[in-house]
Structure 1
Amino acid sequence: MTDLPKRAVDSNFPAGHLTDSLDRELEPTVLDQEIGNIRSTKSSLWSKIFTSKLCIRETHHNPSSSGKETKSISNGWSASLRRVVTGGAMRRIQERILGTSRADVSSSASEIWLLGMCYKASPEESQPGANNGNGVPAFLQDFSSRIRITYRKGFDAISNSKFTSDVNWGCMIRSSQMLVAQALLFHHLGRAWRKPSLTPYEREYIQILHLFGDSEACAFSIHNLIRAGSAYGLTAGSWLGPYAVCRTWETLARANREHDEPNLRKETLPMAVYIVSGDGDGEHGGAPVICVDVAARICADFSNGQFTWTPILLLVPLVLGLEKVNPRYIPLLRETFTFPQSLGILGGKPGASTYMVGVQDDKALYLDPHEVQSVVQIKRDNLEADTSSYHCSNVRNLPLDQIDPSLAIGFYCRDKDDFDDLCWRASELGEKSNGAPLFTVTRSLQPTRPVHHHDSSVDRLIGGASCGNGMDEPFGVGNSEYDTHTGEDEWQIL
């Protein structure tokens, strides 16, 4: 999920390089590299297991009796390996890599921010009969109502590949599905919605889950996302960064809306999609700039000119450092969770994407896509469906100073007033940034050039290091000096 060479779209483990093991549910990935850093001998054993011919799904047949015996033994190994992959051992390995554990949010009296809502633990909560609607129980109810989408196994093969699971390569896609699912919840049911304890469920809730089912028939499935992301090098079994997955959502939403054959046209997002980027449409990095005129044009195009404004989903891909996030950006990232429009952050550690939905003190609270679950198809009219696999009450945390510098922030604005409020908050945040905002706001987009930061060479590689040319800045964004050097090699590709 990072943009460093070993974790880019053309990773060390592309689908085309796995011709001998396409049927496996788990491939050697960055997990093996991290385990090797812990204990090389165990890593070697792990690698041998996964490069052997003991595939999880046996595909060779031998008509002889000895062949049948061999196949039976192999299937026994496969069953044992599957239990390792999907059991607690894999969870412990993942926690070792992420360096995370379950969070006890009640152990601190600090505020908890969850997608724009504030909660706070208090001593009164521990007293019998206490009813604090803004405390930890309320937070946990809110957190467990967020839609969690994880690795799945057992779905139909993706496109022309033999992948029937996304274990160990689909975490960025799953994280992005979670972010978009929250946007749909906010749009259809409102931010105050909580998952009911009893059925029947709301029809809108069930229909949202149906959209993220693991089949081509479901509009926002991993199958359709991979097809839409082919222009960005996305294939089954490959890694991709936040910028590519954001563009993939933009492409999928447009394709669903503009399909030539109405009977083949799938559901589309009920909101416009705005990828906030910098120079060269973000292809060469640059400063992300929310442009009011661009947002208005995107809304008009979305409604075919019928409305001047529509609900809008903003995705802001960023690269905030090289190996680690530059510390100056951590307070700014933290404050974005306080925005009422917040949809959280796609991020995590290198090679292990998560969906960060909140923050307490210096730690991000997140939903983890790395649990392996069997495929579940939620029918759009089944209001009694078992939806437990789409929710989680276990809160996990990750220190903000350990997250991958390649990430994407999401916002949902219901109307023009909501968008204006986001712009105002972003401008206020920019004034606190000491000249290095995450992103800036302008009325009309003007040509920009990178801003030179004399104090650190790292800063010249950061997507949020510059702002517009300041010719029209209605939201109070200050002007910045331009660097005379305009070479593209200063910018890291998102």
Structure 2
Amino acid sequence: MELADSSVCLTYESGPAELVDFPQTDEPVHILGNAYSTFYDLDELKADILSRIWITYRKNFSPIGGTGPTTDTGWGCMLRCGQMMMAQCLVIRHLGRDWRWSKDSLNDPVYRKVLSLFQDKRTSYYSIHQIASMGVSEGKTVGSWFGPNTIAQVLKKLSVYDEWSAIVTHVAMDNTIIEDDIRTLCKNFTANRDNGQLESKSISDSSPLTAGSSLKESSWSPLLLIIPLRLGLTDINSLYFNSLKMCLSLKQSVGIIGGKPNHAHWFVGTFEDELIYLDPHTTQPVVDIGSTNTTGDESYHCCHASRMKLNHLDPSVALGFFCLTEDEFDDLCEAFRQKMVSKTPMFEIHKLRPKHWPPEAYMAAGGTSKPVYVNVDFCDTEDEFELLG
């Protein structure tokens, strides 16, 4: 069912998809908030796609948990899509949205550090090892397939430990965004970090982030907002097509996680009535991006994106948005109200939490604390370990 291929310029899709260049048309192509003309901007469009961090199945990595799988082929596609969404956030956070990849990019220590967080080893915060093991706290055994909500919850837990990036990950449940809750969370995260309340636990000296970590002072911590949705019963409702396309045209977009049952993709753009996506269903050998390596990152960048008709999308998805500043969050909320609220909105947005709703966990604690997940092992040993959420 799956294809093992070391090429970084081919993807594999078991259903209807196209893997060709974009035909010339008057309608622009949108890639994560950037608009391109296929008449005049084709090279820039291709460079944008090539610069996204493409994370696929890998083989021959160290066993997950010491005795577990050494490949995620056949079960890890949703986990890889979650990695790609988080990687896009880190690229924006540390390199900027306009950063472009080149064959000598590994000479940039910041890019190397970003990529190192997704290496297939226990010491990497967002590795397949940590994601699969943290999934146990969400009721998923190692080696089982995740849904969009599960990967969102796992990313929320793991991002706590990434002090270098200091990103707040908020998962909007019940199809509802509460602006005041998110503002409180992002501002309290900064205050708690400055007061030393968010110290990571059990991180060894071999962790990529233990040395030289710094964060520019700010009253707002960057936000990854993930909105899990179900947009139909068995098939996606066509009433949501325009809203989905609008999401990917917003500058705060970091894509959509979804696809078909047990077959996930990271959707990064739109073209006419199609979605543009990066496909994780290629198995590549594990690559170690060491401190002295100057090559090897080519397998994290894809020459071509695939396309799929909107009506082939499974109704279970997770929308992702990244707000580097509070102003960007304000703009995002305004865009939701102006462009996406309709007779059939995908989700609701409120400035304040409805009075009949129970408080968020952090609000019940006085609005001054953020969850701290202990017993997370980032040490590079072969002993079996367990992650507790």
TM-score, length of structure 2 as denominator length: 0.80
Return the match for 1:390 from 300, 303, 309.
300
Aligned with residue 374 of structure 1, among 274, 278, 285: 285
- How far apart are residue 270 of structure 1 and its match? 2.2
Distance 1:192 1:292, change over 3 A: same
Partners in 2 of 1:398 and 1:212 — Cα distance?
Answer: 27
- 2:241 equivalent in structure 1: 330
Query: Is 1:175–1:353's contact at 8 Å kept on the other side of the alignment?
Result: yes
The equivalent residue for 1:403 is 313
Alignment check: 8 A CA contact 1:253 1:268 kept: no
1: CA distance between counterparts of 2:278 and 2:3?
19
Question: Quick one: which amino acid aligns to residue 326 of structure 1?
Answer: N
The equivalent residue for 2:167 is: 271
**Partner residue in 2 for 1:319:** 230
Letter in 1 for 2:351: R
The one-letter code of the counterpart of 1:312 is: L
Report the secondary structure of 1:106's partner residue.
coil
Deviation of the 1:162 alpha carbon: 3.0
Distance 1:224 1:197 in 2: 29
1:167 aligned residue: 73
Residues in 2 aligned to 1:93 and 1:365: alpha-carbon distance in whole angstroms: 13
Mapping for residues 172-321 of structure 1, pairs under 5 Å: 172-198=78-104, 201-254=107-160, 256=161, 269-278=165-174, 288-305=175-192, 308-321=219-232
Change in 2 beyond 3 A, CA 1:365/1:219: same
Query: What displacement does 1:353 show?
Result: 0.2
Show the 5 A alignment for 1:320-359: 320-359=231-270
TM-aligned CA deviation for residue 199 of structure 1: 5.1
> Across the two proteins, how many residue pairs are aligned to each other?
331
The Cα shift of 1:98 comes to: 2.3
**Secondary structure, counterpart of 1:345 in structure 2:** strand
Instruction: Work out the CA distance in 2 between the residues paired with 1:241 and 1:430.
Output: 25
SS of 1:98 mapped into structure 2: coil
CA–CA distance in 1 between the matches of 2:105 and 2:150?
A: 38
Deviations 1:337-363 (A, max 9, x none): 111101010011111100000110010
Partners of 2:143 and 2:111 in 1: how far apart?
Answer: 30
The structure-2 alpha-carbon separation of the partners of 1:145 and 1:85, relative to structure 1 and needing over 3 Å to count, comes to: closer
- 1:147 corresponds, among 34, 44, 53, to 53
* Bigger radius of gyration: 1
Deviation at 1:311, TM superposition (A): 1.0
Which ranges of structure 2 fall in alignment gaps of 5 or more residues? 195-217, 358-389
Match of 2:249, SS? coil
Secondary structure, aligned partner of 1:317: strand
Question: Does residue 86 in structure 1 map to residue 4 in structure 2?
Answer: yes
Query: Deviations for 1:98-126, whole angstroms, at most 9, x for unmatched residues?
Result: 2112033134332100000000122xxxx
Q: How far 1:382 moved relative to its partner?
A: 3.5
Q: Given that residues 135 and 142 in structure 2 are in contact (C-alpha distance below 8 angstroms), is that contact kept between their aligned partners in structure 1?
A: no
The answer to whether residue 345 in structure 2 is matched with residue 437 in structure 1 is yes
Q: Is the 8 A contact 2:170 2:223 kept in 1?
A: yes
Question: Which structure has the higher relative contact order (CA within 8 Å, separation 6+)?
Answer: 2
Aligned-pair CA distance for 1:323: 1.4
Report the CA distance between 1:277 and its aligned residue: 1.3
Greater Cα shift, 421-430 or 150-159 = 421-430
Does the Cα contact within 8 Å between 1:345 and 1:407 map onto a contact in 2? yes
Whole-angstrom CA distance in 1 between matches of 2:119 and 2:61: 9
Deviation, 1:229, is 1.8
Post-superposition Cα deviations, 1:204-250, rounded to whole Å, max 9, x if no partner, equal 11111111000101111011112222121222220111001100111
How far apart, CA to CA, are the structure 2 residues paired with 1:85 and 1:441? 42
Structure 1 residue 142, shift from structure 2 partner: 0.7
Identity between Structure 1 and Structure 2 (%):
33
Q: Please tell me whether the aligned partners of residues 273 and 298 of structure 1 are also in contact (alpha carbons under 8 angstroms).
A: no
In structure 2, relative to structure 1, the CA distance for the partners of 1:226 and 1:220 (3 Å cut) is: same
The answer on whether the counterparts of 2:273 and 2:309 sit within 8 Å (CA) in structure 1 is yes
- 1:418 is displaced (CA, Å) by 0.4
Contact 1:111 1:120 in 2 (8 A): yes
Instruction: Determine the C-alpha separation between the residues in 1 that align with 2:53 and 2:125.
Output: 17
The separation in 2 between residues aligned to 1:166 and 1:330, in whole angstroms, is 32
Deviations 1:375-431 (A, max 9, x none): 01112x336232100000112101111111101010010111100000000111233
Match of 2:323 in 1: 413
What SS does the corresponding residue of 1:397 show, helix, strand or coil? strand
Give a deviation string over 1:428-467, Cα, whole Å, max 9, x none.
1233x22x21222211111579xxxxxxxxxxxxxxxxxx
* Change in CA separation of 1:355 and 1:448 when aligned onto 2, cut-off 3 Å: farther
Distance change in 2, residues 1:343/1:87 (3 Å):
closer
* CA offsets 1:246-274 (integer angstroms, 9 cap, x no match): 001111223x26xxxxxxxxx56421111
